[in-house]
Amino acid sequence: MIPFIQTTLDGVMVGSSYGLLALGFALIFGVMRRLNLSYGPSIMVGAYLGTLLYIQFGAPTYVVAIVAVAGSVMAGVYVERLCFAPLGVGAGVASMVSSFAIWMQLEQASLLMLPRHSYPFPSLTSGELLSVGPLVVRPDYLIMLAAMLAITAALHLLLYRTRFGLGLRAIIENSVAASLSGIDVRSTMLKAFALASAIGGVAGFLVLSANQQVTAMLGMWATLKGLIAMMIGGLGSIPGAIVGGLVLGVIEVHSQTLFGPQVRDLAAYGVLFVLLVLRPGGIFGTAAVSESAAHRGGDRWTTT
């Protein structure tokens, strides 16, 4: 029983990083109803800028953290300006492909900055394990879990207690009506995009400092994990992102312990596929998402 609980606990810890990634994804999707494939590569740009400072000048960890988040936000704003703002509301496909094009740009730019496959990344903790009774946890994953909960709480306050949040929710509900009632839709969307990229930057920094290295796979890894976690939880839902991330983490770690590392990803994709077929809206029901999508004139993905 103890090994099972330990594995589940490890899964929750890993899952908190997926949950963090999915939060940023869900925020962008929730507001825009469009998929930003460049989400992971934006995080990568920030992380690589931070790593560059760390390697070249031995920058302290907090500087690396700030640069990672700032770089991610900058890249995110670039993506929004180039792929999302100029293309109209109906151009879901074009935006997505365009964000994929920028993915390639950002990834290559990062690799021009630091060409090797992997680089060291500063760690937040000394790497000692904490033991709680018979169980052990890694402190850097505890930080990740705490960060996820804190960011979720902050996001909740922002969405339900501020004018900006009100505007954002109005846009999610109906962007035309929101614009008619005097909300600056474009600038709110840009801010939401920057916020999501910042959350992604934090997630990227925490994951890398737990791994103590950064690799060239970061961009694709972050996009895929964030996307899967968001799809499992429910499109564009904030609590869904958290739950989806944790579920994904637990499934992955359990299947890895049972069947080995290759089956880990296979299980994740298998669960995603089955879930999509049986329950397309994700764990956190379809009602909210599909209803608001219906108000917008159906699924915009099918029309360009």
Partner 1 sequence: MDDHLTGILSNIGVISFVALSAYLLLLTGEISFGQQAFFAIGAYTAGIVTAMWQLPFWLGLGAGAAAGGAAALFVGLPTLRLHGLQFAIATLAFAEAVRILFELFRYQVVRAGEPVGPNGIEGFRNIRYIFEHDVSATQFMLIIYGLLGMTLFGFFLLERSRLGVAFRMIGQDGLLAAAQGVPVFRVKLMAACLAGAIAGLGGGLYAHLTTYVEPAIFDVMLGVHSLAYGLIGGLGTAFGPLLGVVIDIGLLESTRWFAGYRMIVFGGLVAVLLIVRPRGLLDERLVHRIRRLVSRRPPPAPTNAAVLGEEPS
Residues that bind partner 1 (CB under 8 A): 35, 37, 82-83, 86-88, 90-94, 96-98, 100-105, 107-109, 112, 220, 224, 227-228, 231, 235, 262, 265-266, 269-270, 272-273, 276-277, 280, 298-304
Amino acid code (one letter) for 184: D
Min CB(102)–partner 1 separation in Å: 6
Nearer to partner 1, 41 or 167 (CB): 41
- Residue 142 to residues 91, 146, 234: CA-CA distances in angstroms? 40, 6, 25
Min CB(267)–partner 1 separation in Å: 9
Token reading at 296: 């917008």
| Side-chain-side CA neighbours of residue 103 (13 Å) | 22
Min CB(290)–partner 1 separation in Å: 10
User: Which residues contact residue 38 at a Cβ distance below 8 angstroms, ignoring those fewer than 6 apart?
Assistant: 75, 76, 79, 83, 99, 100, 102, 103, 106, 223
Nearer to partner 1, 212 or 262 (CB): 262
User: Which residues contact residue 82 at a Cβ distance below 8 angstroms, ignoring those fewer than 6 apart?
Assistant: 98, 102
Nearer to partner 1, 78 or 164 (CB): 78
Nearer to partner 1, 164 or 301 (CB): 301
**β-pairing verdict for 118-120 and 130-132:** unpaired
Min CB(167)–partner 1 separation in Å: 23
Nearer to partner 1, 6 or 105 (CB): 105
Min CB(52)–partner 1 separation in Å: 17
Min CB(229)–partner 1 separation in Å: 12
Nearer to partner 1, 191 or 279 (CB): 279
Token reading at 237: 């839902």
Nearer to partner 1, 83 or 145 (CB): 83
Min CB(205)–partner 1 separation in Å: 25
